[in-house]
Amino acid sequence: MAVPSSTNSNSPLRGILRRISSRPSPQSKQPIFAVVAILVFLVILVHLPLNESSIYHQMIRQGSSSNAKAFSLLVTLQFQDDSAKKEFLEIARPMMDYVYKNEPTTLGYELLFSDKDPLQVLFLERYVDKDEAYLKIHKSSAAFLTFRPKLQALQQAGRVTMSGNSYEDSGFGFMGRTSS
């Protein structure tokens, strides 16, 4: 890199340009490496979901109000036998597909299979907020209105029992990570 001749020979800019344009010595590589390492660390830190500018927090702020908290349902399903579980999975599949494709305010919608009891399933649902994402969007969808009566029929026939609770985010910890 050529140093512009119009630059005053004693100016700080000329010294900086001379240092930039000269070949780095082995000793000068260590400070450059440290600066690059610090910059990489800061970029990673900015993208962690624990900060308020992360994608996760931006989605939560898109809820019905600026004070909206993410809302979760955790429902345990205990099936009478394998055939009841299989029937549930068949009626749940279209619902799962619909939610993934059509409900961007649903943060998570997953069935977790127990590693101790093959007839137990945990249904984990997570929304950006309760009022808009869960009550207005999710519960009024055609897919939900088709799925829910089929699940109720399994319950009424004694083929599945359900228990669960709903929760709001506490702000402690994290629920997911972003990949770079």
Please give the chain's pLDDT, 180 residues, in tens.
Answer: 454 444 455 555 555 555 555 555 555 555 665 555 555 555 554 554 444 444 444 554 444 444 678 999 999 999 999 999 999 999 999 999 999 999 999 999 999 999 999 999 999 999 999 999 999 999 999 999 999 999 999 999 999 999 999 999 888 887 777 665
The answer to whether the beta carbons of residues 126 and 70 sit under 8 Å apart is yes
Q: Could you tell me which of 159, 69, 150, 75 has the C-alpha nearest to residue 110? A: 75
pLDDT at 63: 44
Which class is domain 66-168? alpha beta
Structure-token pair, residue 23: 């070949």
**What pTM does this model have?**
0.62
pLDDT at 175: 74
Rounded to 5 degrees, what angle do the CA atoms 168, 169, 174 make?
Answer: 150
What H or E segment, with its residue span, contains residue 44? helix 26-46
Structure-token pair, residue 125: 């649902």
Give the span between the Cα atoms of 66 and 63, in whole angstroms.
Answer: 7
Residues β-bridged to residue 111: 123
Residue 144 CA, distance from chain mean position = 22
What is the identity of the amino acid at 57? H
Give the span between the Cα atoms of 111 and 126, in whole angstroms.
Answer: 12
The answer to whether the beta carbons of residues 163 and 72 sit under 8 Å apart is no
| Residue range(s) of every CATH 3.30.70.100 domain in the chain | 66-168
